[in-house]
Amino acid sequence: MIHSSAHVTKSEITLTVNGESRTVRAYPMERLLDVLRNQLGLTGAKEGCGEGECGSCSVLMDGALVNSCLVPVLQATNASIFTIEGLAEGVDLHPAQEAFLQCGGAQCGICTPGMILAAQHLLSKNPEPSGEDIREGVAGNLCRCTGYMQIFEAVAEAARRRNKVTAKTT
């Protein structure tokens, strides 16, 4: 075999993905992105650049937005990973997803999972972001379709929806 030069063995790595404990067998330097996509069948995170520039592979790792193309899976050991697939509850879309749909925040859809997670991450830290906060919050997620205007509207709308839900439950 050509790849017999590989001398590293795969290890068992346990991580929590969208609330479920998962164990994978992987090379420690495999990218979290590849493990999610190829082993766990979670293809919502996309590879746009492979160098942490476009943000389309964004996931939440222990609550922090990260580019999963830059995370060796070993570093995700025991981490809690949250992907776009974990956002909707059953058939009910998450308010951020609703907002992106309503405002035209998704066009071709390839940046959308990462963009929505970036929005989620922003709102979890800053529930009432200003326009500038929104621009900065999604600046690591490139979108070539929208010119971002409708994404800004979607994030602002997501904040409103989120705060409405929070207000109701408190």
Partner 1 sequence: MSNHRTNQDRIVGNSVPRKEGRDKVTGRAQYIDDMVLPNMIFGATVRSQIARGKIKKITFPPEINWNELTVVSAKDIPGKNCIALIADDQPCLADEIVNHPEEPILLLAHPDRYALRKAVDSISIEYDSLPAIFTIEESERRSQIVWGTDNIFKTYVIEKGDVESVWKKADRIVEEEYATGAQEQLYIENNGMIAAWDPQHGITVWGSLQCPYYVHKALMALCDLPAEKVRVVQMETGGAFGGKEEYPSMIAAHASLLAIKSGRPVKIVYDRMEDMAATTKRHPSRTRHRTAVSRDGKILGGEIEFTIDGGAYTTLSTVVLSRGAIHAGGPYYWPNVRIRAKAVATNAPPHGAFRGFGAPQSLFAMERHMDRIAQVVGISPIEIRRRNFLRPGQTTTTEQIVHEEIDLPQLLERALQLADYRSKKKSFAGENKSGTSKRGIGIAAFLHGAGFTGSGERYLSSVVGLEGCADGGVRVLVSSTEFGQGTKTVLCQIAAESLGVAYEAVSIAQPDTLEVPNSGPTVASRTAMVVGKLLESAARGIKQTLTLSGRLHDSYSPDEFREACSSYVAEHGPFRSLARYDPPTDIFWDDEKYRGEAYAAFAWAVYIAQVTVDLATYSATVDDFVALQEIGRVLHPVLAKGQITGGVAQGIGFALYEKVIWQNGRMQNGQMTNYIMPTSSDLPPIRVFFEELGNVHGAFGAKGIGELPMDGPAPAIINAVEDALGIHFNSIPLLPEDIFDAITSESQLASAPRSSGQEDSGT
Partner 2 sequence: MRSDPGNYELVAPASLQAAVALMAKTPGLWLPIAGGTDVMVQYAAGKLPARKLVSIWNLPELRRIEISADEIRIGAACTYTDLREHSVVCGEFPLLASAARWTGGVANQNRGTLGGNIVNASPAADSLPALLVYEAELILVSVRGERRLPYVGFHTGYKETKLAPDELIQDICLSRRFSEYFSHARKVGARNAQAISKVCIAALGRVAGGAAEDVRIALGSVAPVPVRLVETERAAKGNPISSSLLLEARKTAAAEIQPIDDIRSTARYRTAVAANLVAEFFERMRSNAEAKS
Q: Which residues bind partner 1 (CB under 8 A)?
A: 1-3, 37, 42-51, 53-54, 56, 83-85, 87-88, 93, 97, 100-104, 106-113, 116, 134-136, 138-152
Closer residue to partner 2 in complex, CB, 136/165: 136
Look at the chain and count its residues. 170
Least distance between partner 1 and beta carbon 43 (Å):
4
Q: Is 55 in the site for partner 2 (CB under 8 A)?
A: yes
Least distance between partner 1 and beta carbon 170 (Å):
27
* Bridge partners of residue 26, in order along the sequence: 11
Residue 149 CA to residue 68 CA, distance in Å, equals 26
Q: Is 74 in the site for partner 2 (CB under 8 A)?
A: yes
Residue 54 CA to residue 48 CA, distance in Å, equals 6
Residue type at position 16: T
Pair 140, 134: CB distance under 8 Å: no
Least distance between partner 2 and beta carbon 69 (Å):
7
Q: Which does 24 bind (CB under 5 to 8 A by kind): partner 1, partner 2, none?
A: none
Residue 150 CA to residue 146 CA, distance in Å, equals 7
Q: Dig out the tokens for 146 from the structure.
A: 């929208």
Residue 82 CA to residue 164 CA, distance in Å, equals 23
Footprint of partner 2 (CB under 8 A): 3, 5-8, 26-31, 34, 50-53, 55, 58, 64-67, 69-72, 74-75, 77, 118, 121-122, 136-137, 139-142
